[in-house]
Amino acid sequence: MSASKLLRPSADYKDSYLAALAEYHAEGRYLYCNIPILKGDFESYITALRTERGYPHQPYQEWVEPAPETITWLVKDDQYIGTVDIRHRLNWHLEKWGGHIHFIIRPSMRGKGFGKKILLKAIPIANYLGINKALLTVAPHNHVAIRVIEDCGGKFEDELPETGQFPARKRYWLDCT
């Protein structure tokens, strides 16, 4: 059994990643990722994930200034466990609804402590990318994520109400120094 680690996306974890993607689809996430297409050309997908691209927040990607993003995967025993996206800076959208850091654990691996592990491991990477204080935004009813953020040292800033276009968000700052 090996320790979990954060790595750049790699085709080495293709099978477990695609299995996780099917789990994410079942809860309505990442539906824009087509599993049969990715299966056929996983290398191109990995190349895209490893390119520090602008944050493609759908359906608002046309509206916001792109912010470079570093994507890493939490891997344990050669299996994909989860993803953390670190945006190098905020734009108006990330400042309110996306934050610097987004983290997710594949549904079948939740409740085993990986949520805290992935966020704690993201902190030095954020620091390396020049982020001293990282913003995290979370739905007010997402009690598990709030617990992870607070347990990792996140300090509550405020709660933004739902608007016609955007959902409500609690905002937290995480010291990355």
Applying CB under 6 A, the residues found at the interface with ligand COA are 102-105, 110-116, 136, 138, 142, 144-145, 147-148
The CB-of-170 to ligand COA minimum distance in angstroms stands at 9
Q: Decide whether 5 or 44 has the Cβ nearer to ligand COA.
A: 5
Single-letter amino acid, residue 42: F
For residue 69, which of 9, 146, 110 has the smallest C-alpha distance?
Answer: 9
The CB-of-4 to ligand COA minimum distance in angstroms stands at 11
The CB-of-136 to ligand COA minimum distance in angstroms stands at 5
The CB-of-44 to ligand COA minimum distance in angstroms stands at 26
Q: Decide whether 46 or 105 has the Cβ nearer to ligand COA.
A: 105
Q: Decide whether 111 or 124 has the Cβ nearer to ligand COA.
A: 111
Cβ-proximal residue to ligand COA, closest one: 115
The CB-of-130 to ligand COA minimum distance in angstroms stands at 21
Q: Decide whether 32 or 62 has the Cβ nearer to ligand COA.
A: 32
* Three-class secondary structure assignment of the chain: CCCCEEECCCHHHHHHHHHHHHHHHHCCCCCCCCHHHHHHCHHHHHHHHHCCCCCCCCCCCCCCCCCCEEEEEEEECCEEEEEEEEECCCCHHHHHHHCCEEEEECHHHCCCCHHHHHHHHHHHHHHHCCCCEEEEEECCCCHHHHHHHHHCCCEEEEEECCCCCCCCEEEEEEECC
Q: Decide whether 80 or 103 has the Cβ nearer to ligand COA.
A: 103
Contacts of 145 (CB under 8 A, 6+ apart): 115, 138, 139
